[in-house]
């Protein structure tokens, strides 16, 4: 799809004028030139709201002011700091990339787009952001805000999650980029999408680009952009057994390529469908999580729902007191006082916070 040069120029000029006169969106990483801080902010903001990500960014910068300090820290401590942010593969990639740059590149970030793109966890968007913000290289960012702004303004109905759509938007974003000020332009279009051309209730009445916006003129702001693939929601049922003996609780570290990898959890039974508590306890006995006649059921929580991307998880907790120490494969007895040092998935951390577990 080809666009007239004057139309591209008109959009770029209107966006940069808005950025110069009206963009007052403040974030601590705006105008940042340090590639480490830019990289850190972009990894944290992947699939995360800015208001939530801001708190984590500030915590990480305080704990790890430069990349070597992050690289030298234990995985458990980094995951603990990341706890609650979700999408924990990002944290794994963060650690691996920090260690690679610290050891293999002597703490120096790559300075070319290709080398940035080769880093673990860095895709086209993040590489473009670092390249343009830190080094003023002419690479356009294409994120959800950019998709939305371009789709509405130019009237693009090609699905943003299709192969054709990704190519189309990427090419158009590159044509629109202000090559002399790529970092300023990239930040401007993302800010514009966040505060003016919002997903819901866009501020069209005060938008300086509205008079040339296809969606505004044709009452299509609610229908653009188009997305074609809707993945089916997967349902899962998790029952956690809080196995306590004296002042210790049994924990397991998740190591498989599934949700919450590298986080800690309690003894777990996962079911293919919702089951009565008695049936789950029998299954736990059969799986050697609960040896017969050495335990007492103290309490059963109400089910808690946790929604992840394309997953709906129902979680229930069964508090168990053991009569004696037992050995359970894959589980380790940890002091209740030490639990605060371990990173847990959000729902498990909330359970611990509210459980007021006795310490002996």
Q: Which residues are catalytic?
A: 42
Which residues in the chain belong to E strands, given as ranges?
A: 234-245, 248-253, 264-265, 267-271, 295-300, 304-308, 311-322, 332-335
3-state secondary structure (DSSP) of residue 264 = strand
Contacts of 120 (CB under 8 A, 6+ apart): 93, 96, 97, 100
* Separation between Cα atoms, residue 264 and residue 153, nearest integer Å: 46
Q: Minimal CA–CA distance to 354: which of 274, 242, 254?
A: 242
* Separation between Cα atoms, residue 62 and residue 205, nearest integer Å: 41
Please give the structure tokens belonging to residue 56: 């984590």
Tell me whether the omega of the peptide bond preceding residue 225 falls within 30 degrees of 0, making it cis.
yes
Give the Cβ contact number of residue 324 at 10 Å. Answer: 9
Q: Minimal CA–CA distance to 133: which of 40, 28, 31, 24?
A: 31
Query: Do the Cβ atoms of 298 and 127 come closer than 8 Å?
Result: no
* Separation between Cα atoms, residue 358 and residue 138, nearest integer Å: 59
Give the Cβ contact number of residue 315 at 10 Å. Answer: 20
Please give the structure tokens belonging to residue 316: 């229930």
Query: Do the Cβ atoms of 349 and 85 come closer than 8 Å?
Result: no
* Separation between Cα atoms, residue 131 and residue 115, nearest integer Å: 10
């Amino acid at each position: 799809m080809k666009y007239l040069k004057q139309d591209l120029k008109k959009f770029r000029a209107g966006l940069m004028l808005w950025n110069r006169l009206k963009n007052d969106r403040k974030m601590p990483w705006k105008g940042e030139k340090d590639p480490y801080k830019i990289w850190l902010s972009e990894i944290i903001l992947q699939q995360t709201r800015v208001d939530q990500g801001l708190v984590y960014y500030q915590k990480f910068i305080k704990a790890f002011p430069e990349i070597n300090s992050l690289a030298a820290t234990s995985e458990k401590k980094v995951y603990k700091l990341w706890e609650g942010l979700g999408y924990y593969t990002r944290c794994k990639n963060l650690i691996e990339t920090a260690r690679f740059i610290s050891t293999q590149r002597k703490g120096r970030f790559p300075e070319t787009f290709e080398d940035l793109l080769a880093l673990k966890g860095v895709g086209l968007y993040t590489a473009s952001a670092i390249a343009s913000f830190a080094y003023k290289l002419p690479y356009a960012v294409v994120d959800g805000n950019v998709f939305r702004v371009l789709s509405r303004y130019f009237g693009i109905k090609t699905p943003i999650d299709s192969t054709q759509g990704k190519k189309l938007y990427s090419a158009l974003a590159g044509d629109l980029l202000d090559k002399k000020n790529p970092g300023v332009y990239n930040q401007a279009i993302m800010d514009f999408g966040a505060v003016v051309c919002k997903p819901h209730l866009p501020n069209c009445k005060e938008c300086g680009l509205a008079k040339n916006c296809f969606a505004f003129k044709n009452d299509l702001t609610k229908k653009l952009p188009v997305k074609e693939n809707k993945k089916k929601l997967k349902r899962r049922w998790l029952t956690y057994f809080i196995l306590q003996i004296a002042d210790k609780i049994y924990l397991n570290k998740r190591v498989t390529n599934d949700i919450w990898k590298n986080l800690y959890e309690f003894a777990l039974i996962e079911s293919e469908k919702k089951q009565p508590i008695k049936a789950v306890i029998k299954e736990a006995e059969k799986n050697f999580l609960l040896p017969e006649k050495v335990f007492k059921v103290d309490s059963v929580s109400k089910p808690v729902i946790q929604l992840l991307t394309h997953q709906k998880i129902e979680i229930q907790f069964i508090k168990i007191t053991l009569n004696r120490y037992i050995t359970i494969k894959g589980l380790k007895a940890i002091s209740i006082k030490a639990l605060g040092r371990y990173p847990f998935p959000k729902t498990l951390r909330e359970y611990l916070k509210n459980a007021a577990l006795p310490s002996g």
